């Protein structure tokens, strides 16, 4: 069961990355981990650094994929992003948080899903 979830998660992240790259974003990092959690994708959109949370659900039942990025998850992502930025040093780029919600075959890209 855990292997199936991991496989589905990797496939969803790959699908999201391909979609974002097709729209001009460039991948800087994937599955970046620190003590605060994991950043699924770190992309560049021009001069903006984009932290992308990828969520997959079989269907939109129970609120769907996007709704699963609740306040608690957002706070963890913010902490991980701060840690990522601290490791870069120098002048920090503009940053935003996007969510790619995949429900079955439907992909929905939410730009600037929540703020810092």
Give the CA angle between residues 25, 72, 16 to the nearest 5°.
25
Closest C-alpha among 13, 82, 20, 16 to residue 45: 20
pLDDT tens per residue, range 87-104: 887 788 899 999 999 988
Q: What b-and-e string marks burial along 15-46, b requiring 16 or more CB atoms within 10 Å of the CB?
A: bbbeebeeeebeeeebebeeebeebbbbbebe
Which domains are delineated in the chain? 2-114 (3.40.1350.10)
pLDDT tens per residue, range 12-40: 999 999 999 999 999 999 999 999 999 99
Average pLDDT of the residues of the chain: 89
Whether this model's pTM surpasses 0.85: yes
């Amino acid at each position: 069961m855990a292997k199936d979830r991991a496989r589905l998660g990797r496939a969803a992240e790959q699908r999201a990355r391909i979609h974002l790259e097709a729209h001009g974003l460039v991948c800087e990092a994937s599955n970046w981990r620190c003590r605060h959690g994991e950043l699924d994708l770190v992309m560049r959109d021009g001069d903006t650094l984009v932290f992308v949370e990828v969520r997959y659900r079989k269907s939109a039942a129970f609120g769907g994929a996007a709704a699963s990025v609740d306040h608690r998850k957002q706070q963890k992502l913010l902490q991980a992003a701060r840690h990522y930025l601290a490791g870069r040093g120098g002048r920090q780029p503009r940053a935003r948080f996007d969510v790619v919600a995949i429900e079955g075959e439907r992909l929905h890209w939410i730009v600037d899903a929540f703020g810092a």
